[in-house]
Amino acid sequence: MIKHLLKLVWNRKRINFLITVEIFFSFLVVFAVLVFAVYYTDNYRQPLGFNYENVWSVTLDMKSASTPGSRESDKQQQFATIKNMLAGLREFSEVESAAGIWGIPYWSGDWTGDREINGKGKDFEIGFNEATDEVKDVLGLNIVRGRWFGKEDDGATNYRPVVINQLMARTFFGDEDPIGKDISNPKDKERVEQRVIGVVDDFRKGGEFSAKRGYVFHRNDLASEKVSPPRSLIIKVRPGVTAAFEEKILARLQAEARDWSFDIKPLAQMREANFQEYLVPMAAFGLIAGFLLIMVGLGLTGVLWQSVTQRTKEIGLRRAKGATRRRIYRQILGELFIITTIGLLAGVLVVVQFPLLNFMGFANSRVYAISAAISLALVYLLTTICGLYPSRLATRVQPAEALHYE
């Protein structure tokens, strides 16, 4: 049966080639969209590593922020001002805790670097942040090993205490205990030991749709020359606190620094904006892919309908020789299935090259495999639906029509 269907497909190779090409490109477009969809869906299912509920951010514009060449006295003044701000915020009954941090969650700015993994020549991307001792309580960070920053780190002069996430601990140290290990970059000219004092869950600063990566927290004691003034303050407010509280916060901060400006936002609001940055483009690409599939479906239906009409004589003769309606129905769908399979095989041969060429390198092999499987299922489903009516139309051809067909 399959051999006979292949022969029928080959006899109409010119028309079938065009259908195959259409299916091939449709598969590639659907696959590309699904890679992003599966990748972001998989990221969304992973633990976030922090708590955004009832957390507000205050972005600081210090006007004369610390930059290369700034006087150390200005920097120390900024430290003192921020300490006063944090102390003032903690005086409010609505505030559970307040802290200073370089990069707040959901903020688009990033601080990254690479580390070579155990001299193997393979670089591992790492995210960095500077945080005060209270950040753990504000963001609800979960310590899985060791401890967070505290007063016991005040005497650290010949090393910098750091806290890393679980992914970095596994990547660099495997099953070994990372506590006390040095993660400083051997390539740094002025190398300072960065001693691990604790490990947290896989912190994802970029939000739910960002990928897991190694992460390092440096301690900001608001005093050392090795750190800079935090760019933001984060506040853990009590449940039920409304937006009206922003006015109190703003008045308290301006009392400490009238020349500075402040932007106050709940992390939940920043999370919504972050969602839109990811979902709007995905919706647009999904809409384009959807319209493409509709166009392909309409085209396939039209081509198959025309093919059935042109093959009235052939189908009528088969009916005259005893072929049942069911066999005719299965023949038309079988031919379409073979054409679709040829187009999809060509598409699969192309997409399996993507990991080797590092095309869409953000996705791993699991994402590729799931995306390819869903794409195959969708295209097969589409072509099957498109072939149902033309196949049923072919079953209505009567044997006598073969004698009158011109």
Structural domain spans, the chain: 2-45+275-404, 63-259
Residue 93's pLDDT is what? 93
The owner of tokens 């805790």 is 97
CA dist., res. 17 & res. 300, Å (int):
12
Under DSSP, is residue 94 helix (H, G, I), strand (E, B) or coil? coil
Q: Which residues pair with 227 in a beta bridge?
A: none
Q: Which of 189, 275, 8, 231 is nearest to 99 (CA)?
A: 231
Largest CA distance in the chain: 102
- Check if the beta carbon of residue 69 is closer than 8 Å to that of residue 160: no
- Rg of the chain in Å (alpha carbons): 32
Residue 17's pLDDT is what? 79
Tokens of 207: 């939000």
Write the DSSP string, 243-291.
Answer: TTHHHHHHHHHHHH-TT-EEEEEEHHHHHHHHHHHHHHHHHHHHHHHHH
CA dist., res. 87 & res. 397, Å (int):
87
Residue 260's pLDDT is what? 93
Q: Which of 234, 232, 194, 231 is nearest to 216 (CA)?
A: 194
Residue 323's pLDDT is what? 64
CA dist., res. 351 & res. 355, Å (int):
8
pLDDT per 10-residue tile (average), the chain, 406 residues? 60 72 87 91 92 95 57 82 94 94 91 75 82 95 95 86 94 91 80 91 93 93 87 94 92 92 94 92 86 80 70 63 68 79 91 81 86 92 80 64 53
